[in-house]
Amino acid sequence: MTCRRPWTAAALVAAMLVAGCSGNGGSGNGAAADYPEQNITFVVPFSAGGPTDTVTRMIAEPMAKALGGKIVVQNVEGAGGTVAAGQVARAEPDGYTVLMHHIGMSTAPALYKDLGYKPLEDFQTIGLVTEVPMTVVARKDFPPATLADLVTYVKANAGKVTLANAGRGAASHLCGLLFQSAAGVKLQEVPYQGTGPALTDLVGGQVDFMCDQTTNTTGQISAGKVKAYAVTTPSRVKSLPDLPTTTEAGMPQLQVSVWHGLYVPAGTSPEIVQKLSEALKAALADQAVIDQMAKLGTAPVAAADATPEAHKAHLEEQLTTWSKVIADAGVQAS
């Protein structure tokens, strides 16, 4: 005959805890297996219609399809993307709040003294998305005809020329810093809450020139609504074959591209991180996404780069690179 010991209160509690951890509640494997059970929010740090927003919306639907759920895009503007990043860093690490950020994730620590979060400690990388070239563009009636002419003109009119950007730490701001450094001039900068409104004012003639991503400028350039001087990459882009590179145009120091990546709060389960990374890979392999990106002068990253490991390594390298560039420029955001 088999003897059974009576359950003690402590044993019952322990058994319940074990059952709870192995079930579908909380953040255990069960919750990850059922993910997603509600809408996922993709937080974009810049205005609707801007380049980062455009890239996000391109991949949101195919990622949602791969995940078997729904993704909504939320634009949270302010302080060069740091408001949105801080919000996501403090969010519940359950996979339902995802940040799409660009190169600004690697520049913010050098720009802001009291950032409130640490990119490598407070976030889990999901994967890189795309690397977007930038263009130097101006209002269509701006006098300089070439990039060399632009340099000559801004040196002669430094106190009058306005250089627009999407705020401190934004890609357009960083590109503008590199332009001023290469040209040896200090210009009057006009910050906006995102490149969408900045480009709108450029088209309207309220500001003189700016750097902006091809995802935002290709259509305006092709339609003749802005004057384009150069693309800031070593090679020309297929969507703008007649636009010279900055090297071809005589300013090889001005080379910058804007990489984008997805993040979740630190502490998100590895299973959910893996699901998001696999969904990202599926989206980047979607022919519609490939075609849309090509029209805007960019392309999805290789599958090997759409991984948490590759993304983290790239972020580490970029943090080191931009820390030196920003320190040398002596720039500090408030």
Say whether pLDDT at 25 is over 90: no
Give the DSSP H or E segment for 44. strand 40-44
CA-based radius of gyration for the chain: 23
d(CA 262, CA 126): 5
Q: In the predicted model, what is the mean pLDDT of the chain?
A: 89
Do 139 and 245 have their domain in common? yes
What is the number of residues in the chain?
Answer: 334
d(CA 110, CA 263): 20
pLDDT tens for 117-168 read: 999 999 999 999 999 899 999 999 999 999 999 999 999 999 999 999 988 7
pLDDT of residue 194: 81
Say whether pLDDT at 5 is over 80: no
Instruction: Evaluate whether residue 334 is within a structural domain.
Output: no
3-state helix, strand, coil in the chain (%, to 5): 45, 20, 35
Residue 107, phi then psi, degrees to nearest 5: -100, -25
pLDDT band for position 322 (cuts 50, 70, 90): confident
Rounded to an integer, the average pLDDT of 18-43 is 68
Across 9-13, 112-116, 129-133, 207-211, the highest mean pLDDT is recorded for 207-211
Say whether pLDDT at 11 is over 80: no
pLDDT of residue 8: 42
Give the DSSP H or E segment for 5. none
Rounded to an integer, the average pLDDT of 31-39 is 91
Do 126 and 270 have their domain in common? yes
pLDDT tens for 177-200 read: 889 989 999 999 999 988 889 999
Find how far residue 332's CA is from the centre of its chain.
Answer: 20
Do 242 and 138 have their domain in common? yes
The DSSP secondary structure of 159-223, one letter per residue, reads TT-EEEESSTTSHHHHHHHHHHHHHT---EEEE-SSHHHHHHHHHHTSS-EEEEEHHHHHHHHHT
* Boundaries of domain holding 238: 133-257
Do 153 and 125 have their domain in common? no
pLDDT band for position 254 (cuts 50, 70, 90): very high
Do 169 and 228 have their domain in common? yes
Instruction: Evaluate whether residue 1 is within a structural domain.
Output: no
pLDDT band for position 79 (cuts 50, 70, 90): confident
Cβ atoms of 146 and 249 closer than 8 Å: yes
Question: Which residue among 257, 285, 313 closes a domain?
Answer: 257
pLDDT tens for 257-286 read: 899 999 999 999 999 999 999 999 999 999
In percent, the amount of the chain with pLDDT more than 70 equals 90
Instruction: Evaluate whether residue 143 is within a structural domain.
Output: yes
pLDDT of residue 155: 97
